[in-house]
Each structure stands twice: as C-alpha cells, then as structure tokens.
C-alpha cells in the first residue's frame, strides 16, 4: 500500500512541506519539520521517540521514518495532546488542524468576605422632567351649590 499525500491546514492556513504529510495505514502522519514544529515550541529526537513541548504540556510519540530518513509523527495524536482538534476529509485529502493559542492560567485570589468582589457601579435613575403646573380655570360667576347630599345624623 503506497502512502497518499495529504494537505495540512493549521488554523486556517496551509502548511507547505516537502515531503508532504501522508495517509499511512489509516493515520495521517506528518514530517516533524516543518509541519509539527509550526505549532510546538521544542522537539527533541532520541532514537525512535520524539518529545514535543508546547507551553506547559509535553507529548512523547514514536516516530515513523520514511524512505528518505525524515521523521514522521501521527498528526492527530499530537494535535489532541496539545488541546487541538484534527479532521480529515478523504474527498479533498486534507487534514484540518485547529490548535488554540496559549492561554495563561492563573490561580484565583483567596476568598475574602470583607472585600467586595466587584467595584460598585453607579446606578443612574432619571427623574421625570418637571412639568409646569396647569393653569386653573377661573370662573368669574357666582359659586355653584353642592349637588351631593350630605347625610345628616339626628342628634339626641
């Protein structure tokens, strides 16, 4: 079974390499340089094992050596070890790697019940616009008598 050349897309950009990545026995393997080293900080080769370092994570994989002496590593395994994802499309013979950038993890401050967790924010409540008093209707005529009867309680 002869290997099939595969195009590698890392975070939306094609990674050019000679020799190319290959599909070998159902796994995409990529050359250590330049494909795998494009998203790792350090790679060391000792015998047939490769130690890859990125941020605080370390990944140790077995290398497969090609006919030309180039070290190939399983691409999906390495991407997942560093928190990424790999998708292979057999129709276009491409593997899409999504390896997120480094995120800095910090330890939260210890809980202090006397310290506010957030600064207080000023709440703005608008007051209604002042309304000028309405003019009272003036009646120049005589006062009108009351039309509602007032109940009278007889005295004893």
Q: For residue range 116-133, list pLDDT tens digits in order.
A: 667 767 777 777 777 777
Give the pTM.
0.61
Are 65 and 46 within 8 A, CB to CB? no
137: which 2 tokens? 């209707």
Tokens 């290997």 — which residue? 3
Which position has the higher pLDDT, 111 or 144?
111
Question: Any idea which of 19-23, 29-33, 63-67 has the lowest mean pLDDT?
Answer: 63-67
Tokens 């130690």 — which residue? 51
Band of residue 109 on the pLDDT scale cut at 50, 70, 90: confident
Check whether 143 has a pLDDT greater than 70: no
Of 7, 11, 9, 8, residue with least CA distance to 98: 11
The Cα–Cα gap between 114 and 40 comes to: 44
């Amino acid at each position: 079974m002869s290997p099939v050349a595969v195009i590698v897309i890392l975070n939306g950009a094609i990674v050019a390499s000679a020799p190319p990545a290959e599909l070998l026995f159902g796994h995409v393997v990529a050359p250590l340089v330049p494909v795998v080293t494009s998203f790792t900080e350090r790679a060391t080769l000792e015998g047939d094992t490769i130690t890859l370092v990125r941020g605080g994570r370390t990944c140790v994989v077995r290398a497969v050596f090609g006919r030309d002496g180039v070290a190939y590593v399983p691409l999906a395994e390495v991407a997942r070890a560093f928190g990424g994802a790999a998708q292979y499309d057999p129709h276009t013979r491409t593997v899409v790697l999504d390896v997120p950038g480094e995120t800095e993890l910090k330890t939260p401050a210890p809980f202090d019940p006397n310290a506010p967790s957030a600064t207080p924010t000023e709440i703005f409540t608008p007051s209604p616009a002042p309304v000028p008093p309405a003019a009272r209707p003036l009646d120049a005529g005589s006062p009108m008598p009351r039309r509602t009867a007032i109940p009278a309680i007889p005295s004893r």
